[in-house]
Amino acid sequence: MSTRTGESLYWTALNKGKRSVAVDLRAPEGRELVAALATAPGSDGGIVVDNNAGRSWLAYESLAERRPDVIQVRIQGHADGRPAVDYTVNPEVGVPGITGPTDVAEPVNHVLPAWDLLTGMTAMTGLLAALHRRDRHGEGALLQIALADVALTSVANLGWLAEADERGADRPRHGNHVYGTFGVDFATSDGHRVMVVALTSRQWDALRAATNTEKVFAALEDALGVDFSLESDRYRLREMIAAVLRPWFVARTLEEVGHQLAAAPVLWSRYRSLHEAVTEFRALGSPPVLVEVEQPGIGAMISARSPLRIAAEYGASAVAPRLGQHTDEVLAQVLGLSDAELGRLHDRGVVVSGSA
């Protein structure tokens, strides 16, 4: 929520680049308009994404009567129709049990609504695949995707279910250590923190060189009969490796650490707060994937372009519409409604226009 304006920054950020049509779905005429929009003609028409449950007039069968090759993508909570949101799905798939500090007994919810983001992109992939098929073969499709299924398939796709099955238990909590390899965070002398990862033996070599610990780790390999060029040994002895490296980091400022890690080069990054990311963008204008837009209703607002670059260029930026901002424009363009017809719909309260 924007404390300056009372507008939702979340809503605004999620809806940028869209057109908004405001229709009263309780009115039969309103439903007719939405069904007509969903089944509009043309090769780019006849596509609808919804999270409808129980509205028969928006069911695939109803829409397919109007346009047999309609593509409908329906997003659900659970596949059986039960409601769910990101925050209720995440506990069910076991991620909070392996997230967080090792000394915490309770589950730790991650804050990023990862399942929402991933469900949206998976739905979009399904939509484009269905459109591809329709272009080629003329067939429409009803696609459904449930948030709970996205979460469960993701932990399966990472091998985590198979691993828990074989282990007969969950993996233990690892705190900020990366599972299966060497990677962990270190504090610097000036109160900053960095993340350092050595996935490959080359990255491990660079890390030892940067921290002047080659002889130390060679002696430890001899003494312990291990081989740190192996990811499995780096993982197994991660706590010891971190303990050996820690004094190097804590004796140096972030600037010194960064300079020497980058020269090696070590795979690393610094912990930067959301606010620091904003401050750096304002000071440097980078990275170029971020952009400041003039958002009606809010004013200057940090926003983002698409992360997909086409021919090395980021796309344009966009702002969010007001609710109903494009009501008349869309109904005229897509359904060919006349000014007189639009006027009658407004008079009867079936549609509403919002101003930018």
Contacts to its own copies from residues 81-140, by CB under 8 A:
83-85, 87-101, 104, 106-114, 117-119, 121-126, 128-129, 131-132, 135-136
Phi (first) and psi of residue 326, to 5 degrees? -110, 20
Q: Can 339 be counted among the known catalytic residues?
A: no
The least distance separating its own copies from the CB of residue 145, rounded to whole angstroms, comes to: 5
What tokens were used for 198? 């050595």
Of 190 and 341, nearer to its own copies (C-beta) is: 190
The gap between the terminal CA atoms of the chain, to the nearest Å, is: 19
Closest to 297 in 3D by CA, of 5, 20, 9: 5
Cβ neighbors of 36 (< 8 A, separation 6 or more) are 66, 335
Polymer length of the chain: 356
- In angstroms, the CA 32 to CA 341 distance is 14
Task: Determine the size of the site formed for its own copies (CB under 8 A).
Answer: 130
Site residues for its own copies, window 202-261 (CB under 8 A)?
232
56 is a contact residue toward its own copies (CB under 8 A): no
Q: Could you tell me the smallest distance in angstroms from the CB atom of residue 280 to its own copies?
A: 10
Give the C-alpha separation, 59 to 82, whole Å: 17
Give yes or no for residue 49 binding its own copies (CB under 8 A): no
Question: Tokens 């007189």 map to which residue?
Answer: 340
Sign of the dihedral through C-alpha 144, 145, 146, 149 = positive
Closer by beta carbon to its own copies, 162 or else 219: 162
Contact call for residue 155 and its own copies (CB under 8 A): yes
Query: Which residue number, 36 or 108, has a Cβ lying nearer to its own copies?
Result: 108
Between vectors from CA 172 to CA 171 and to CA 173, what angle results, nearest 5°?
A: 120
Q: What does the block give as tokens for 49? A: 């994404």
The one-character DSSP state at 100 is S
Backbone angles phi, psi at 229, to 5 degrees: -75, -10
Establish if 324 lies at the interface with its own copies (CB under 8 A). Answer: no
Asked whether position 301 contacts its own copies by CB under 8 A, the answer is: yes
68 vs 349, which CB is nearer to its own copies? 68
Binding to its own copies, residues 169-198 (CB under 8 A): 169-171, 174-176, 178-180, 183, 185, 193-195, 197
CB nearer its own copies, residue 158 or residue 250: 158
Of 10, 66, 172, 259, the residue at the interface with its own copies (CB under 8 A) is 10
Enumerate residues 304-323 that contact its own copies by CB under 8 A.
304-312
Burial class, 41, CB count within 10 angstroms (exposed 0-12 / middle 13-18 / buried 19+): exposed
Q: Residue 14 carries which DSSP code?
A: H
Rounded least distance, CB 138 to its own copies, Å: 13
Which residue lies nearer to its own copies by CB, 206 or 350? Answer: 206
Annotated active-site residue in 116, 185, 205, 233:
116
> Which residues participate in catalysis according to the annotation?
116
